[in-house]
């Protein structure tokens, strides 16, 4: 693990805050840059291990990845079905009244695509997985680091990044992609149900035609890419905070808080980046 230990980051974190406000801001900036550097290095190490050890211990890794997909995907399905119903209700409940007033009910499908497919679906999925699985990642890996499990893996000639991080990255990327698809499908269906209950004169056929008309190949491509990137980012940020620095048990909770905050900021930035990409390509 010495390859990505960052003593300077730890020293910076541990030193008392300077009295001057400018110095304080400067220290925060340096901390941010060091964190970005550490995360970048950790992501590159993970990518390197993923590529160079793709064929190593495939039986063990397959089981680990399957377990992570179940954790970051399958086991969250009931919660996501509930969220899908709620999201459909929220979006349709708000938009139906406004679209009816301006006589634009034909845009219901378009609103669903713009709001749910392009924006809320992927981002909401990422944030819920960050809260439910990302936090668990930091706690598990931080505890493993603090109790010497990571050293035990190294003593057995097992690369901790290969055994602990790679399955989480793959599992979380695939889990978030699948959950987003289920969330969007659920929200689209529940949206129509809510519209139907509000006596909106819209047949299922028209609704589907509206949806199909608003969707383009770019939506499918960017949705897949964005959700996979969300998964990779959340896994990298949470694993980095759990693994990359030596932790004591008492430090695990603070590392978890840091990881969630940074994961959230990274997801929002990535989402903004994808908006720019979409607008650039679609223009």
Q: Which is nearer to another protein, 150 or 169 (CB)?
A: 150
Please report whether residue 152 would count as binding another protein according to CB under 8 A: yes
Q: Which helix (H) or strand (E) holds 258?
A: helix 252-282
Q: Which is nearer to another protein, 64 or 210 (CB)?
A: 64
Q: Which residues contact 248 (CB under 8 A, 6 or more apart)?
A: 146
- CA–CA separation, 251 vs 137, rounded Å? 14
Asked if residues 223 and 117 have their Cβ atoms less than 8 Å apart, the reply is: yes
Please report whether residue 156 would count as binding another protein according to CB under 8 A: yes
Q: Which is nearer to another protein, 5 or 106 (CB)?
A: 5
In angstroms, how far is the first alpha carbon of the chain from the final one? 46
Minimum distance from CB of 50 to another protein (Å)?
14
Q: Which residues contact 10 (CB under 8 A, 6 or more apart)?
A: 245
Q: Pseudo-torsion of CA 96, 99, 102, 107, nearest 10°?
A: -150
Write the binding mask 159 to 188 for another protein: x where contact by CB under 8 A, - elsewhere: ----x-------------------------
Q: Which is nearer to another protein, 123 or 146 (CB)?
A: 146
Residue 269 CB neighbours (<10 A): 11
Backbone angles phi, psi at 219, to 5 degrees: -60, -45
Please report whether residue 143 would count as binding another protein according to CB under 8 A: yes
Among 149, 206, 251, 271, binds another protein (CB under 8 A): 149
Please report whether residue 110 would count as binding another protein according to CB under 8 A: no
Among 14, 21, 22, 59, binds another protein (CB under 8 A): 59
Among 131, 136, 158, 275, binds another protein (CB under 8 A): 158
Please report whether residue 3 would count as binding another protein according to CB under 8 A: no
Minimum distance from CB of 150 to another protein (Å)?
9
Residue 42, CA atoms < 13 Å, CB-side half-sphere = 29
Please report whether residue 144 would count as binding another protein according to CB under 8 A: yes
Minimum distance from CB of 159 to another protein (Å)?
8
- CA–CA separation, 178 vs 71, rounded Å? 12
Write the binding mask 241 to 260 for another protein: x where contact by CB under 8 A, - elsewhere: -----x--------------
Asked if residues 41 and 2 have their Cβ atoms less than 8 Å apart, the reply is: no
Among 26, 48, 154, 257, binds another protein (CB under 8 A): 154
Q: Which is nearer to another protein, 45 or 127 (CB)?
A: 45
Asked if residues 108 and 99 have their Cβ atoms less than 8 Å apart, the reply is: yes
Q: Which residues contact 87 (CB under 8 A, 6 or more apart)?
A: 116, 120, 121, 124, 183, 186, 187, 190, 191
Which residues make up the interface to another protein (CB under 8 A)?
2, 5, 7, 52, 57, 59-60, 140, 143-144, 147-149, 151-158, 163, 246
């Amino acid at each position: 693990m010495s390859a990505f230990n960052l003593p300077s980051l730890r020293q910076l974190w541990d030193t008392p805050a300077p009295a001057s406000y400018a110095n304080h801001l400067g220290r925060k900036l340096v901390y941010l840059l060091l964190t970005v550097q550490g995360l970048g290095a950790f992501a590159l190490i993970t990518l390197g291990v993923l590529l160079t050890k793709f064929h190593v211990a495939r039986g063990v890794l397959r089981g680990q990845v399957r377990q992570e997909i179940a954790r970051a995907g399958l086991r969250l399905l009931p919660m996501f079905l509930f969220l899908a119903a709620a999201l459909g209700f929220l979006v349709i409940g708000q938009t139906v009244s406004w679209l009816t007033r301006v006589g634009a009910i034909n845009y219901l499908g378009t609103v669903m695509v713009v709001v749910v497919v392009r924006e809320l679906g992927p981002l909401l999925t990422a944030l819920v997985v960050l809260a439910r699985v990302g936090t668990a990642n930091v706690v598990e890996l931080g505890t493993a680091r603090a109790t010497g499990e990571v050293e035990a893996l190294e003593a057995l000639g097992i690369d901790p990044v290969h055994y602990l991080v790679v399955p989480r990255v793959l599992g979380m990327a695939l889990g978030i992609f699948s959950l987003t698809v289920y969330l969007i499908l659920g929200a689209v269906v529940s949206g129509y149900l809510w519209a139907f209950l509000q006596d909106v004169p819209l047949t299922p056929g028209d609704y589907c035609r509206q949806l199909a008309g608003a969707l383009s190949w770019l939506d499918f491509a960017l949705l897949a890419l964005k959700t996979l990137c969300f998964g990779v980012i959340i896994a990298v940020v949470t694993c980095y905070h759990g693994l990359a620095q030596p932790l004591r048990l008492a430090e695990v909770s603070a590392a978890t808080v840091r990881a969630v905050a940074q994961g959230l900021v990274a997801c929002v930035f990535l989402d903004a980046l994808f908006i720019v990409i979409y607008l650039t390509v679609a223009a």
